[in-house]
Amino acid sequence: MHPGPLHSLQAWHAAELITRRELTAENLVRACLDHITGREPQVHAFVHIDADAALATARRLDAGPLRGLLHGLPFGVKDLFDTFDMPTAYGSPIYAGQQPLADAAAVALCREAGAVLIGKTVTTELANMFPGVTRNPHNPQHTPGGSSSGSAAAVADAMLPLALGTQTAGSLIRPAAFCGVVGYKPSHNRVPKAGVKSLSETLDTVGGFARSVRDVALLGAVLTGDARLADPAAFSQTMAPRIGFCQTPEWALADSDTQQAWAQAEKALNTHGKPMALPPELSGLVAVQKAVQAFETARSLSPERLRHHDQLSAPLRALIADGLAISGETHAQHLQLTAMARRQVQAVFGPFDVLLAPSSIGEAPAGLDGTGDPLFCRSWTLLGLPCVHLPFARGRSGLPVGLQLVGAYGDDHRLLAAAHWVHERLTH
């Protein structure tokens, strides 16, 4: 019926088998749970698992009609999303044991489409930089990235085919890069954020992880409500996308692993694109993103700052202090710059369908006391553009390395189709 163990099936393949009734949701869920039992003591991807509820849901799905694109597919949810049937602590002792009354909108949409919630995955403290307990499944002495650390690690270790995450700076693309999975950050505000702990209204974006572009496109179609994202015709296209090779103004900080991956990609794709540079007016965006994030996070976390200050980590207290030192007038200027840059960047895509850009400085750093630098994600997040990380190479330590594709705002369906085309050529 299918090669390899059930838990390692790609989501699109499992969905086809379930649709044809050649695979039951219960058997798929059970296979994932069995694998989690064996690997979770090493990876620490979860803060909560409810195996009995997941199996009961799977049996109900098997007994009824097909629910949607994700029918019977197990998924995990970053512990930044509210869930009515599982505790939600936002990675902070302040919220230990909290039980929300309702699902976050994105979780509800996945359940409506037939997905089976296995558990809540580890996030860093309030989705900031202070790390959780998750380890990189490729080497437990290295970080998995953050803040969507548990979701990326669980998918990378084939515990789950799909998982939800969020990005405010680089919290989808960076852990996808470090763990070697496909990460998808949709266009800003294409996915509802209701029920997700807020850090920055200007930057926060809901997205997810999978092991192939086709898989993450299924998830994206459900989250955005845009069926074009998962249109099978898009993944059989023969027309090559026009690719702009965009090293970004931060390229000098990329290490030899990212440089080598870049050279490999240029060789594989050189007849389908050409180098390009962002216009000068789009320089300096990293600093603006940092300031916007600090200002808005400091104020979004005012309840925690005012009532639970001693339960916040020192790095988070420092970030809040930095944010409070920024005036409202300065922040208003940063928002104006952001709006202007978001308008200006659309012209960049005239000659190109997508841009190829670095995802990270290099492979996942050694040590578990940090989550790595989101440097190469900050500008794209500020611009609100859709991004897809594509894993295809290995660094000096044998850990995953890849690059990201960036699309024009709202062109998520074209970006995903192009990402599938590019990924096939980078991995074959």
Q: Which residues are catalytic?
A: 78, 147, 171
CA distance 87 to 2: 36
Instruction: Decide if 47 contacts 79 (C-beta within 8 A).
Output: yes
d(CA 176, CA 172): 6
Asked if omega into 151 is within 30° of 0 (cis), the reply is: no
Joined tokens for residue 246: 């965009």
Query: In angstroms, rounded to a whole number, what is the distance separating the alpha carbons of residues 88 and 84?
Result: 9
Amino acid at the residue 238 = T
Residue 365: CB partners within 8 Å, gap ≥ 6? 142, 143, 372
Q: Cβ(155)–Cβ(177) under 8 Å?
A: no
CA distances from 361 to 5, 100, 243, 256, 285 (A): 34, 37, 21, 9, 17
272 close to 243: Cβ distance less than 8 angstroms: yes
Question: CA 409 to CA 225: how far, in whole Å?
Answer: 16
Contact 106, 81 (CB under 8 A): yes
CA separation for the pair 88, 95 (Å, rounded): 7
Q: Provide long-range contacts, Cβ within 8 A and 24+ apart, for 56-65.
A: 57/25, 57/29, 57/116, 57/117, 58/24, 58/25, 58/26, 58/28, 58/29, 58/30, 58/116, 59/25, 59/26, 61/25, 61/114, 61/116, 62/24, 62/25, 62/26
For tokens 């859709």, the residue is 386
Of 112, 116, 123, 146, give the one whose Cα is nearest residue 223: 112
Q: Which residue in the block uniquely carries the two structure tokens 């104020």? A: 299
